[in-house]
Structure 1
Amino acid sequence: MALLVFSYLLGGASRQNEVRLALLELAALPLLVLALFALSRRSDLAGHRLALALMAGVAILPLAQLVPLPPQIWRGLPGREQLDLALSTVGIPGGWAPLSLTPDRTWRSWLALLPPMAIFAALLVCPASFRLRLPFVIIGGTVLAIVLGAAQLVSGGDGLYPWRTTDPGNVVGFFANRNHLATFCLMSLPMAAILGARVVKRRGSPQKSLLPWISILFVALVVVALGAIRSRAGIALVGPVLGACLVAAWVAAGRGRPGPVLLGMLGAASLGALAIAVFALGPLLVRFDTPGAREGRFENWPIVAEAAQGYLPVGSGIGSFDAVYRSVEPLEQLDATFFNQAHNDYLELALEAGLPAVALFIIFGIWFVRRSWTAWGGRASAERDLQRAATICIAVVLVHSAFDYPLRTTFIACLFALCCGILELASRPESDLSEPGQGRHRSRA
């Protein structure tokens, strides 16, 4: 829990050279070691082989790109001709060199994996009581971020923005980018939906608890906040996400006739959508219709795709996008702005890591489909409901990654890993989920 809160406060940016991110990575290392040690002592370790192999592959890939290669090998790799020519021109002999064109950035990218890997591994060994408190933590964090964002909007200054490189004058909360706050808000919606529905199923009536009504108010707050954030991806995804949340809440409530909570969530979402239409749609459309404005990411994607083909099959090195794109950027597109991310993580990974990254993503897709099938096919329970909510959260990030780079923000990466850890537990029988620490260890500490 401490590392998750730590990442919430310090991991709201995607820049790799921030001291705060380095502190977070350092704090994650002992947790990762302890979690892997505890996991190795579990008798059900074999059930997590695919997920752990996938995590190992993600961790090994950047390290493999840092292994020094003899000159006769790296010179023959695709895309290294310009580097070889530059070294020859200045008279520098080409010695041993890693696969990555920017080894320092590749190394920092590997360090950035430590917090999410630690959280994923810790989720597999933590008690059920901890997991069932996570929705409250996520919802509380979302409310704090929205409150800070509202203060940022009305203050008009830059004193309330926690990062140097940010969206001044916009609602960003604890993040550096409003799109990432929108992603966080969307990921909190399914957590609120299952909480309210679970209480109704357990107590039989929403009047016996305030939690269902708090969930409804929270959904309305998030929908209105998305309008204030003015993230195009957030606005585009809120409808499908709310639809998935209603299905998850219906399942959590026992698949009966829609009750007050489901209808209340639908009403809250409708009122929030009306508020967006009245107050935020105009400023949002300005971002599309500003004369002379161009949507750089769409224009640049073909350039990135062509560059990725030039570096196949091994890629240019994780973290090297900025350097590679500068070398292929057309002269007619040069202006005062810079394009330091592809705004499409799938294209960027294909460029930086080539076919190995594609293979890892295919394995991840297989894992995600298998675990989601198990989670949604099981009976309603607190753990299964949490797993269903996690599938929606993961899907939000996967879709948003096609238009932005949410996983390059440390906190979103940690929250994504948290949801993956929750979903991975769908492989365990229900009886094992209720008391995860009893009777399944080979030996006791």
Structure 2
Amino acid sequence: MALFAGGASRLHELRLALVELAALPVLVLAISKLLGGCPRPTPLAMLLIFGTAALPLVQLIPLPPSVWTALPGRDQAALALELSGLQPSWSALSFAPDKTWRSFLALLPPIAMFIGVGLSGSADRGRLVHIILGFAVLSIVLATAQVASGGDQLYLWPTTSPGTVVGFFANRNHLATLCLLTMPLAAVMGARVLRRQDRSDKLTLWLSILFICMMVLSLGVIRSRMGVVLLVPTLAGSILAAWIASGGGRPKPLLLGLVGGATVAVGAIVIFALTPLLARFDTAGVREGRFENWPIVAEAANTYLPLGSGLGSFDAVYRSVEPLELLDSTFFNQAHNEYLEIWLETGWLGAALICVFLVWFIRRSWTAWRARPGRERDIQRAASIGIGVVLLHSAVDYPLRTETIAVIVAMMCALLDMAARSDEELTVDMKSARRRQRAD
């Protein structure tokens, strides 16, 4: 449901509600298994889950007038009530309680995915990875059909700009994110067949090479600026993870084929798409809203410290502080910087959660990259690259505000969290998965 109905982040409440409803049975089953003694996420991951889910709920707690009017940034709201002749009443900390509640509901699918993947067997996790890779291919096929239609046909979201390459998303930047975060998954899935025990399945490696070439060429057509900037480091990380997955040592000919295929795809972009790509970076005479507006957002965020203005309140807060000289026919619906927007909406609590997440990410990634090659470890290394791509992209955009990307990243986080498990625990997990498969 998240893949096919979660490709937009606003004005599509019904489709997003379907994804959130689909998450409820998964969440209930996952929690019941946790309570039944199944392996749990690491303590740091559990802290992140509870903290992230609790944050919007805390912002919705009704506060007495004497409390909320004394909070930083509430003086204008109190003044408006006074000028209207109204008495302040109990109110939530958030300036937009309805959107804060929607933010909490939007967290349910990624939380359900994270816990559910952590409780799944190795075979099921492998199927999920294949599903994500297949979805990326379908997205590119749909995007190709959208461009070939020559108009506004085959676009799934009314808020999309016709003529852009978006696939199942409403924004081409999010499709670029999908292309980038699936590359390391495909690379390790193909390269690991080069290890001695998997030498018979060379078709998987050829499919992996074809997949990566398709994603690289697609980025040239999508023309997402950050997608192009992140392409080379993503390819470098994917090739390194593939080399480790192949067993290390002297690069094997087929692994060199993976490098060669990616290089040829990049070369094709340079030859056939360099001019339109450079045009995307040419902002001379054009106001680049996100960069010019970031200082305004940062100043507004400082006004609402230490607790923030409430999740989902960015639009209302920014409209109240936007300088008149910047008003034009466009509107700044998001900060295009997740860290800055979280700083505005959640203050010190959100910043603390980001810091905890980064500590968790660095620790789990360090463990995964130090481990010996193995099926589970290969996927964990690829997941760390995918998460890193999204963290970098979030500095200039908002990919995690689409349910599709949020759920995929949650799956990768669950895979990476398993780096804390020993090889013996993962082996037991794989054997139990095989037993269940034979029983079915």
TM-score, normalised with respect to structure 1 = 0.94
CA distance in structure 1 between the aligned counterparts of 2:105 and 2:360, rounded to whole angstroms: 24
1:213-228 alignment to 2 at 5 Å? Answer: 213-228=206-221
CA distance in structure 2 between the aligned counterparts of 1:274 and 1:254, rounded to whole angstroms: 28
Who is 1:26 aligned against?
21
Instruction: Note the C-alpha offset of 1:291.
Output: 5.3
Does structure 1 residue 104 correspond to structure 2 residue 98? yes
SS at match of 1:225: helix
Instruction: Note the C-alpha offset of 1:18.
Output: 2.3
SS at match of 2:226: helix
Q: 1:322 to 1:233 in 2, by over 3 A?
A: same
Who is 2:379 aligned against?
386
Q: 1:236 to 1:255 in 2, by over 3 A?
A: same
SS at match of 1:298: helix
SS at match of 1:404: coil
- Is the contact between residue 132 and residue 382 of structure 1 (CA under 8 Å) also seen in structure 2? no
Ranges in structure 1 where 5+ consecutive residues have no aligned partner: 1-5, 441-445
Who is 2:324 aligned against?
331
Who is 1:341 aligned against?
334
1:120-159 alignment to 2 at 5 Å? Answer: 120-159=114-153
Which residue of the other structure, out of 352, 355, 375, is the alignment partner of 1:362?
355
**What number of residue pairs does the alignment pair up?**
433
CA deviation vs aligned residue, 1:341-395 (integer Å, no higher than 9, x gap)? 0000000000000000011111111111111111111111100001000000100
Who is 1:443 aligned against?
none
SS at match of 1:176: coil
Amino acid at match of 2:23: A
Instruction: Note the C-alpha offset of 1:55.
Output: 0.4
Does structure 1 residue 268 correspond to structure 2 residue 261? yes
- Is the contact between residue 125 and residue 436 of structure 1 (CA under 8 Å) also seen in structure 2? no
Instruction: Note the C-alpha offset of 1:298.
Output: 0.4
Amino acid at match of 2:62: P
Amino acid at match of 1:35: A
Who is 2:438 aligned against?
none
- Is the contact between residue 16 and residue 109 of structure 1 (CA under 8 Å) also seen in structure 2? no
Which residue of the other structure, out of 380, 398, 402, is the alignment partner of 1:409?
402
Q: Which runs of 4+ in 1 moved over 6 A?
A: 437-440
Does structure 1 residue 9 correspond to structure 2 residue 15? no
Ranges in structure 2 where 5+ consecutive residues have no aligned partner: 434-440
Does structure 1 residue 118 correspond to structure 2 residue 124? no
Q: 1:103 to 1:365 in 2, by over 3 A?
A: same
Instruction: Note the C-alpha offset of 1:279.
Output: 2.1
CA deviation vs aligned residue, 1:243-297 (integer Å, no higher than 9, x gap)? 0001100110111111123211211111111121122221122223365312110
How large is the Cα RMSD of the aligned pairs?
1.6
- Is the contact between residue 128 and residue 434 of structure 1 (CA under 8 Å) also seen in structure 2? no
Does structure 1 residue 185 correspond to structure 2 residue 176? no
CA deviation vs aligned residue, 1:305-364 (integer Å, no higher than 9, x gap)? 111111100000000000000001111110000000000000000000000001111111
Who is 2:299 aligned against?
306
- Is the contact between residue 128 and residue 435 of structure 1 (CA under 8 Å) also seen in structure 2? no
Instruction: Note the C-alpha offset of 1:435.
Output: 3.5
Who is 2:310 aligned against?
317
CA distance in structure 1 between the aligned counterparts of 2:83 and 2:12, rounded to whole angstroms: 31
Moved more, 196-205 or 309-318: 196-205
Instruction: Note the C-alpha offset of 1:418.
Output: 0.3
| Percent identity of paired positions between Structure 1 and Structure 2 | 57
CA distance in structure 2 between the aligned counterparts of 1:226 and 1:424, rounded to whole angstroms: 29
Q: 1:158 to 1:18 in 2, by over 3 A?
A: farther
